[in-house]
Amino acid sequence: MIKQTHCPGCNSADVKEFFEAQNVPVQSVVTIKTFEEAVAVPKKDFTLAFCKNCGFIYNSSFDTTIDHYTKGYEDQQGFSAIFTNFITRITQRFIDKYDINNKDILEIGCGKGDFLQLICELGNNRGIGVDPAYVPSRLKPNQNVRFIKEFYSEKHGELPADVIVCRHTLEHINDTGNFVKTIRKSIKNNKEVLLLFEVPSVVRILKINAFWDLYYEHCSYFSNRSLAQLFEMNGFEVLDTYTEYDDQYLFLEAKTGGNIRSKTRVKKETIEQLSEYIDDFVKNINQQLGQWHDTLLQMKKQNKKVVIWGGGSKAVGFLTHFNHLEVIGHVVDINPHIQGNYIPGIGIQYVNPAFLREYKPDTIIVMNGIYKNEISKELHEMNLSPELICL
Ligand SMILES: [Zn+2]
């Protein structure tokens, strides 16, 4: 694989690689029904590079020819009350902040359409979702919301849009510079359009050595520095950036045209700060992986029944490093649509929480600590009290 030696965000050649993982499954949320298919998912090297010009971090070994999104995938999060409360609060706050009522909302990469429906219901808005992987399915129909099963391109600028939303999509896009440029070009005549983007925050990953949040489907990793700079470079005015969800998610609000002005000066990390985070990550990541390796081996020696709670990409990110130890027996997920499926590249089958009633695990490794209370409550109701280790 030819390494990408120029930053996909700003095209600078001033990049350095700082982390490599080998044999990483190239997919993590694709729907797979058999063990054989799951373990046949190709594995490739994953290399993180840091651009010293704009602060962007990306997988410089990324293979852009892989089709990730047209074969069915499963990433709905709305089965958790904690998540539903979070997304409702964030959306209502965004509506109130910019008076987004009776407006046209366009969502790029809308998935199954949960968020688009929510913002349309809360603000009595009209919505169009553009996503090549959209599957008409699970939501109760809303006559104000429609979907277009395509990749976003310049022609979609003709669709009505007062607000463009794009959540958890940009980190899947390799050519971030051209993608944001396309969005800017699609907005004609300096029309006033507000943007809301949401991506995982790489700063948190670097600070806590969160290797489970590094996986192949995410080829682009943002700090508020690199995210803000990407939009500024392409002719947007950045209004605000902030993190939410225990600093896991990074938000950016930006605009074109019109009279909305930022009330606060957007604070950005400096390149020096980001370099320090990276230096610390490089210093500590092997120790972090080594400790987990030892902990899991210890559990194996003690014949402990260990399960992971929380499927999806984090479980793939975690098991990529430790599946060969054969310590984790099962992966639990509350999303009924993935139960019974097999984890891409790993081959473990998803089970539902009720499975634990019989299985009686000794230890549960929770892939996202934000759900700890929700999980504890569910275990308590099943009269289970395993050790919980939260990432
Ligand atoms: Zn760059």
Please choose, from the candidates 103, 4, 135, the residue with its C-alpha nearest in 3D space to the C-alpha of residue 61: 4
Distance 312 CA to ligand 1 centre (A): 29
pLDDT of 257 higher than 90: no
The rounded Cα 357 to chain-centroid distance in angstroms is 31
Count CB atoms within 10 A of the CB of residue 50. Answer: 26
Residues 80-101, mean pLDDT to the nearest whole number: 96
Please choose, from the candidates 134, 280, 151, the residue with its C-alpha nearest in 3D space to the C-alpha of residue 207: 280
Residue 310: phi and psi, rounded to 5, are 115, 105
pLDDT of 346 higher than 90: yes
pLDDT tens digits along 133-153: 888 866 778 899 999 999 999
CB 76 within 8 A of CB 335: yes
Average pLDDT value over all residues in the chain: 93
Residues with CB under 5 A from ligand 1 (ion): 7, 9-10, 12, 51, 53-54, 56
Q: Specify the pTM.
A: 0.94
Distance 174 CA to ligand 1 centre (A): 12
Sheet (strand 328-332) strand order: 350-351, 328-332, 306-309, 363-366, 387-390
Distance 5 CA to ligand 1 centre (A): 11
Measured CA to CA in angstroms, residue 87 lies from 195, 285, 308 at distances of: 17, 31, 24
Distance 11 CA to ligand 1 centre (A): 6
Q: Is 47 left (phi over 0), alpha (psi -120 to 50) or beta?
A: beta
pLDDT at 2: 65
Residue 130: phi and psi, rounded to 5, are -115, 120
Please choose, from the candidates 19, 6, 40, 52, the residue with its C-alpha nearest in 3D space to the C-alpha of residue 342: 40
Angle subtended by helix axes 81-98 and 114-123, to nearest 10: 50
Q: Is the dihedral of CA 209, 210, 215, 219 positive or negative?
A: negative
Q: What dotted CATH number matches 297-390?
A: 3.40.50.720
3-class SS of residue 8: coil
pLDDT tens digits along 17-38: 999 999 999 998 888 999 999 9
Tell me the C-alpha distance between 388 and 372, whole Å. 8
Tell me the C-alpha distance between 16 and 177, whole Å. 18
